[in-house]
Amino acid sequence: MIGGGDGKPMLEGLKVIDLTSVVFGPYATQILADFGAEVIKVEGPTGDAYRYGAKAANTLGMGPGFIALNRGKKSLRLDLKDEGDLAVMRDLLRDADVFIHNVREAAIDRLGLGYEAVRTLNPNIIYVHCVGFGSGGPYAGLQAYDDVIQAATGTTTLLSRVDGNERPRYLPSLIADKVAGLHAAYATQAAIIHRLRTGEGQFVEVPMLEAFASFMLKEHLDGKTFDPPNNTAAYARQIDPDRQPFPTSDGWISIVPYTLAQFPQVVRLLGDEELANEERFKDVQGIIPATAELYRRMAELTPAKTTAEWLEILRPHQVPCMAVTDLEDVIDDPHLREVGFFERSEHPSEGGLYQTREPSSFSGWKPAPLGHVPMLGENNAEFKKS
């Protein structure tokens, strides 16, 4: 790896005032904090609601989801309906680089913290508004949570296409919130680069619906990409009911014949030489209509051996495959352990914690140990003079 850089955090010196809550905004600012920005998380009198989203170990308000999204930040507890606390907020914004929030427009304007008001305090600020729906459409101003965004983007109808159960269902993940958080993180950094070039701050709107629709429709717009359409929406490979993990004698395995030519090869390796050698599989034109049949045959063959035995057979032939790991066991995955993905630390109040590190690596910067997660109002003395 090529060396370079000064080894300092890449966003060192960047001051971010974070008035976001729950997942969307806090995920974005957690990324900025991981890269070295000073993130001052402004919370109301009772704190970010996500502090209480799941069972804490020791202290009420230090739930695991909150811990995952707010490491390395400072917590400033303010009541923005109080004129004194609002004055503290304005003072912070005067020399901030970034102000990011997810307060609806009417409410933030009532506080006197809309873009035009903040730009008067700090003309070069990057003002990032995390919203549910873009301001130019009929949904503007509506409340948005992960579930409603999954519903609005067609995501809740994907599982129905796989298993034939017509009931729409949510994917069991805060996937829309997290995808929108990633969009907010890179949009903020793009605005930072723009200011480095031009000296100008700007207003940035990151809408959750549009961010997640963009993410999901990369493959699932499919035939509706064309005008007129040449097929339906939904990428056929992803909704194939036969393209699922296969049973083994002691568990489950994911086997992905990614190229069409690999289908008969995999069937052969699994033990059905006769089927793999059929004349119709000599070219891809014969394989294409038979993929469902080949998947089903794979599912019939895999119970003959253990997961480990199949991995030993398939991997030397460059067949993509992996054991299915239960969610409970991911923290013990040997690869993730070896690369240091999980970092254990001691929190001042919560004791031992496992956190996931920033997954990217850089030749010019080695990340410091992860910062701890702040208690509500932990840093008030630093910013709020009594």
Q: What is the pLDDT of residues 344-379, one digit of tens each?
A: 999 999 999 999 999 999 988 888 899 899 999 999
Could you tell me if 360 and 313 lie in one domain? no
Q: Provide the residue range defining the domain that includes 92.
A: 15-216+339-383
- 179 with 273, same domain: the answer is no
Task: Establish if 365 belongs to a structural domain.
Answer: yes
Predicted pLDDT of residue 386: 55
Q: Which residues, listed in sequence order, are joined to residue 99 by a DSSP beta bridge?
A: 17, 127
How many angstroms separate the CA atoms of 103 and 122, rounded? 19
Let me know whether 70 and 148 are in one domain: yes
Report the CATH number at residue 19: 3.40.50.10540
CA distance 47 to 365: 33
Those residues with Cβ within 8 angstroms of residue 225's Cβ, 6 or more apart along the chain or in another chain:
none
What CATH number corresponds to the domain at position 268?
Answer: 3.30.1540
Give the pLDDT confidence of 248-264 residue by residue, as tens digits.
Answer: 999 999 999 988 889 99
Domain end: 297, 323, 349, which one? 323
The residue among 293, 323, 353 that closes a domain is 323
What pLDDT, on the 0 to 100 scale, is given for residue 5?
A: 64
Q: What is the pLDDT of residue 2?
A: 44
Note whether residue 225 is domain-resident: no
Amino acid identity for residue 303 in this structure = P
Return d(Cα 198, Cα 296) in angstroms, integer.
58
- Residue 229, in any domain of the structure: no
Tell me: do 65 and 156 sit in the same domain: yes
What average pLDDT does this structure show over 1-9? Answer: 63
Check pLDDT > 90 for residue 3. Answer: no
* Domain identity same for 207 and 276: no
User: For residue 337, what pLDDT band results from cuts at 50, 70 and 90?
Assistant: very high
CB-based contacts of 23, cutoff 8 Å, min separation 6: 50, 65, 69, 146, 174, 177, 178, 181
Residue 27 shares a structural domain with residue 109: yes
What is the average pLDDT across 127-139? 97
What does the angle CA 99 – CA 183 – CA 359 come to, to the nearest 5 degrees? Answer: 105
CA 240 to chain centre: 25
Percent of the chain clearing pLDDT 90 (strictly above): 91
Q: Is 375 inside any structural domain?
A: yes
DSSP string, 155-172: GGGHHHHHH---S----S
Residue 368 forms part of a structural domain: yes
Q: Dmax over Cα atoms in the chain, in whole Å?
A: 84
Mark whether 208 and 74 lie in a shared domain. yes
Kindly report the pTM of this predicted structure.
Answer: 0.94
Tokens 């208690």 belong to residue: 375
Residues of 210-234 as b/e, b for ≥16 C-beta within 10 angstroms?
A: bbbbebbbeebbbeeeeeeeeeeeb
Task: Please check whether residue 22 lies inside any domain of the structure.
Answer: yes
Q: Quote the CA–CA distance of 373 and 345 in Å, as a whole number.
A: 11
- Domain assignment present for 334: no
pLDDT over 70 at 164, yes or no: yes
| Rounded Cα distance, 80 and 44, in Å | 7
The verdict on 143 and 275 lying in the same domain is no
Q: Judge if 314 and 350 occupy the same domain.
A: no
Half-sphere exposure of 370 (CA within 13 A, CB side): 25
- CB contact at 8 A, 371 and 33: yes
Angle of helix 262-270 versus helix 307-314 axis, rounded to 10 = 130
Do residue 298 and residue 174 come from a single domain? no
Helix (H) or strand (E) holding 198: helix 175-198
User: Are 315 and 353 in a shared domain?
Assistant: no
Determine, yes or no, domain membership for 222: no
> Which of 289, 323, 357 represents a domain boundary (last residue)?
323
Domain count, the chain: 2
Please tell me what DSSP assigns to residue 225: G
178 and 254 co-located in one domain: no
Strand, coil or helix: 323:
strand
